[in-house]
Amino acid sequence: MQSRAAILRAAAKLFSEQGFAGTSLKDVAEELGMTKGAVYHHFTNKESIAVAVVEEHYARWPVVLAEVQALGLPPLETCRELLDRVAATFRDDDMVRAGARLQIERTVHKVRLPEPYVGWVELLTRLLSEARDAGQLRAGLVPEVAASAIVAGFFGVQHVSESLHERSDLQQRWRDMADLLFRSLRTD
Ligand code: LUB
């Protein structure tokens, strides 16, 4: 009996390649050599699989954050290293790629997914507030405003890279954007 995790991995691969509408629950079952009944043992429908994939997408970030925080970097460098590693997952990790595609298709498939972007704005606001308190930020800079700009910048960079190059150049494109963004945040 394949595990719930195996179903999510197979669904993520298919959702990231074919999108929600282009993937059937039968496709997921066949990808694993399972019957549809075995998949229904874990999930009631394709929508519930999509929700679980997006939840797994977001569950990645506290793990990456803990790894970066273990480096003991100053807050602004923690923020930059975190996003650098996150960019690599958008290129390499099917669960992350599938979550991003499911979110960008949300107005089409209308599955009730977790709200996008807000978690990152909160997390980056927290890190940038620590950077401000550590004297790393330019005077007058508002952490939440900067956090929202970084989230929009990251979203845009990964979306353009995916559209034009299937994210193959994402790491460098993000580093180019991060150079501009973080230079504008730092105190002189
Ligand atoms: C991030 C995407 C793609 C935000 O948080 C999210 O929902 C995101 C998928 O929806 O970019 C920027 C880190």
Q: Is any atom of ligand 1 closer than 6 Å to the C-beta of 103?
A: yes
Distance CA 185, CA 132 (A): 10
> Residue 119 burial (CB < 10 Å; 0-12/13-18/19+)?
middle
Under 8 Å between Cβ of 126 and 82: no
Sign of CA dihedral 135, 137, 138, 141: negative
* Mean per-residue pLDDT pooled into runs of 10, the chain (188 residues): 90 98 97 95 97 98 98 98 98 98 96 98 98 97 98 98 97 98 95
Task: Give the pLDDT score at 1.
Answer: 60
Distance of alpha carbon 138 from alpha carbon 136, whole angstroms: 7
Terminal-to-terminal C-alpha distance of the chain: 59
Decide whether any atom of ligand 1 lies within 6 Å of the 58 Cβ: no
Residue 89 CB–ligand 1 contact under 6 Å: no
Query: Which atom of ligand 1 has the smallest separation from the CA of 119?
Result: 5
Expressed in angstroms and rounded, the spacing between residue 147 Cα and the centre of ligand 1 is: 12
Q: Helices in the chain by DSSP H: which ranges?
A: 4-18, 25-32, 36-40, 46-69, 75-92, 94-104, 106-109, 118-133, 143-165, 170-185
Distance 155 CA to ligand 1 centre (A): 6
pLDDT at position 188, please? Answer: 83
Ligand 1 atom closest to 155 (CA): 11
